Structures are given as C-alpha cells and as structure tokens.
C-alpha cells in the first residue's frame, strides 16, 4: 500500500507536465478509448436488447410494458453503462496498457528514457492514466446509447410497444442530474481507478514473461473488483434516500 501511495503521489506530480502535452494524451485516448469503441458499442447494443427482452417479460405481467424504455434507460445510465464499460475497458484497454508499460520496463525503454532526462512518469505513465479518465465517460455514454437503441429495436420494432410511449416515458423519468450526471461521475471514478491500477501494475511488473502475464491478470482482476466495490459505495452515496 505504501508503494501504491508513493506511486500515486509521484503520478499526481507528473500530471501537470503531462497535461501540458495534450498530443500525448490524445494519442493514448485513441489507443485506449477510440479503439475500444466497437466492443463497447456492440456490447451495449446486446445488453440493451437482453434488458428489453427480460424487462418486457416482467413488465407485461403488470400491464406496464410501455415503461420498458425508462426501465432500460435507468438501468443503463445509472448502473450498467458505467459498470460494464469499466469492466470491458479493464479487459480490452487497461490490460494492454499494463503489458505495454511492463514490456517497456523489461526492455529498458523506460530506463533509456530516464537516462535521456525524460521522466517516464510524465511521458509514459501519466498520459495513459489520463486517457483512461477521459475515455471512460464517453465510452459509458456510448454504451448506454447503444443499449437504448438495442432496447428500442427489440421493444418497439420486434415486440410492438408504442414508439411514443417508449421515448416519452424515458424523457419524463430520466433525470439529467440524478441519473445521467451521477452515471457519468461513476464512470470518471471508475476510469481513475482502472487507469491507476493498470499503470501501477505495468510499472512494477517483474521484467519477465511470467511477470508481465501476472501483471496483466492482476490488472483485470483488481480493476473488476474495484469497479464493483466502488459502484456499491457510489450507488449508496448517490441514490440513498432518493425514493
């Protein structure tokens, strides 16, 4: 824990320098975020479709099938969007970041950088960490949007729920501040956690094939558990007492 705290401290110090070089951050946003778009969008679409099938099966028992849109939208925006996106991001992008930094360390690329008086924390670690924070809210929003579209395809086009009811109930019951902004806040917190874990594990990976394999596995496992734990804490803080 002491090592992680010291690492987080030096990362914080290096953020100022990294923020002054936006091109490096944009490059990492492309590798981590933009290249995760397809998996996030397709996953969102399928999750939305499944939610619609399951939701309709329950709602039609109580004669509220028109509420399908709002149920799916709230599930996605509040919970599944940020959480599943963070889990996908941990598997798709963060593990790659860990492996990349671990390999750079094993092949002395970070040492070479350090010898050229270029701080690897500012040049390599901080841009990847910031890219995770910047990418996550956008990816979560895309996941939720794709999910709503998936639910619309199943609910409206295939099952035959009224199109107007689907959208109007969603519009009336999804609150921008309570639902959408809290969902985005969650995704920023998840991005911070997943980003920090991935760069930390990569930076301290043992410089062997086994060490890098272990580090990438640890990134995915620790990130996933952290996201779920943080989700519980944030959900309790954000939505307790709203009803």
Residues making contact with other proteins (CB under 8 A): 103-104, 107-109, 111-119, 123
The nearer residue to other proteins, 87 or 104, going by C-beta atoms, is 104
The nearer residue to other proteins, 5 or 115, going by C-beta atoms, is 115
The nearer residue to other proteins, 107 or 171, going by C-beta atoms, is 107
Contact criterion met (CB below 8 Å) for 220 and 98: no
Closest separation in Å from C-beta 107 to other proteins:
6
Closest separation in Å from C-beta 35 to other proteins:
14
The nearer residue to other proteins, 21 or 173, going by C-beta atoms, is 21
Closest separation in Å from C-beta 17 to other proteins:
11
Contact criterion met (CB below 8 Å) for 211 and 174: no
The nearer residue to other proteins, 129 or 166, going by C-beta atoms, is 129
Closest separation in Å from C-beta 121 to other proteins:
10
Contact criterion met (CB below 8 Å) for 95 and 193: no
Q: For residue 126, which of 30, 212, 199, 220 has the smallest C-alpha distance?
A: 199
Describe the crossing of helices 95-106 and 182-203 by its angle, rounded to 10 degrees: 20
The nearer residue to other proteins, 92 or 105, going by C-beta atoms, is 105
Contact criterion met (CB below 8 Å) for 136 and 190: yes
The span from the CA of 243 to the CA of 232, in Å, is 17
The span from the CA of 21 to the CA of 71, in Å, is 42
Structure tokens at 231: 């989700």
Q: What is the secondary structure of 62-74 as a DSSP string?
A: GT-GGGHHHHHHH
Closest separation in Å from C-beta 33 to other proteins:
17
């Amino acid at each position: 824990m002491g090592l992680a705290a010291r690492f987080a401290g030096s990362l914080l110090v290096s953020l100022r320098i990294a923020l002054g070089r936006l091109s490096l951050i944009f490059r990492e946003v492309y590798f981590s975020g933009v290249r995760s778009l397809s998996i996030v969008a397709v996953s969102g679409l399928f999750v939305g479709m499944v939610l619609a099938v399951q939701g309709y099966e329950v709602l039609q028992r109580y004669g509220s099938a028109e509420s399908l849109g709002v149920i799916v939208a709230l599930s996605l925006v509040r919970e599944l969007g940020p959480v599943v996106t963070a889990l996908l991001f941990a598997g798709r992008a963060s593990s790659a970041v860990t492996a990349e930094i671990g390999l750079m360390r094993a092949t002395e690329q970070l040492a070479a950088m350090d010898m050229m008086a270029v701080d690897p924390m500012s040049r390599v670690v901080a841009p990847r960490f910031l890219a995770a924070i910047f990418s996550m809210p956008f990816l979560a929003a895309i996941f939720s949007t794709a999910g709503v579209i998936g639910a619309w395809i199943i609910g409206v086009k295939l099952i035959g729920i009224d199109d107007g009811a689907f959208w109007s109930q969603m519009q009336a019951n999804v609150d921008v501040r309570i639902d959408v902004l809290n969902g985005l806040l969650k995704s920023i917190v998840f991005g911070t956690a997943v980003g920090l874990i991935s760069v930390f594990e990569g930076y301290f990976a043992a410089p062997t094939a086994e060490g890098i394999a272990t580090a990438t596995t640890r990134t995915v496992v620790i990130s996933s558990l952290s996201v779920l734990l943080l989700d519980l804490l944030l959900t309790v803080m954000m939505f307790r007492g709203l009803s």
